[in-house]
């Protein structure tokens, strides 16, 4: 796996961790309404989902970063597989996001773009 793909994978991991922390711990913050579309009166109802989705993203982000670390430790196949699974999942999830809530098209692009580029770099070059 090339250096550009590794840098993008680590960047994707960091972004997923940051978004996960925001989802899990800051979902009530109305400054984040453009990202999460959660109204103040709905925060209690969505608490369980936002916390779980936040931790899913934190785990996905850690998996991408650990995958790159494993690649650099010499276990290339294992690390590439981990990174590929994260990227495939987030490419699909970006599509699901835009289909389920078209207003979040920019977030969907943010979720899927780097993973698609990483997959292309991993398998098309």
125 pLDDT band (50/70/90 cuts)?
low
Half-sphere exposure of 39 (CA within 13 A, CB side): 2
Nearest-angstrom CA–CA distance, 69 and 77: 12
What are the residue boundaries of the structural domains of the chain, listed by start? 3-21+51-123
Query: pLDDT (tens digit, 9 = 90+) per residue, 87-122?
Result: 999 999 999 999 999 998 999 999 999 999 999 999
pLDDT tens for 52-97 read: 999 999 999 999 999 999 999 999 999 999 999 999 999 999 999 9
């Amino acid at each position: 796996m090339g250096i550009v793909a590794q840098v993008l994978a680590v960047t994707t991991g960091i972004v997923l961790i940051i978004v996960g922390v925001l989802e899990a711990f800051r979902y009530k913050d109305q400054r984040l309404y453009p990202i999460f579309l959660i109204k103040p009166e709905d925060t209690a109802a969505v608490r369980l989902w936002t916390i779980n989705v936040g931790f899913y993203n934190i785990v996905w982000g850690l998996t991408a970063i650990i995958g790159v670390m494993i690649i650099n430790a010499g276990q290339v196949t294992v690390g590439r597989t981990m990174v590929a699974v994260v990227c495939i999942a987030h490419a699909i999830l970006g599509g699901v996001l835009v289909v389920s809530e078209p207003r979040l098209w920019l977030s969907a692009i943010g979720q899927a773009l780097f993973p698609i580029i990483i997959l292309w770099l991993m398998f098309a070059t």
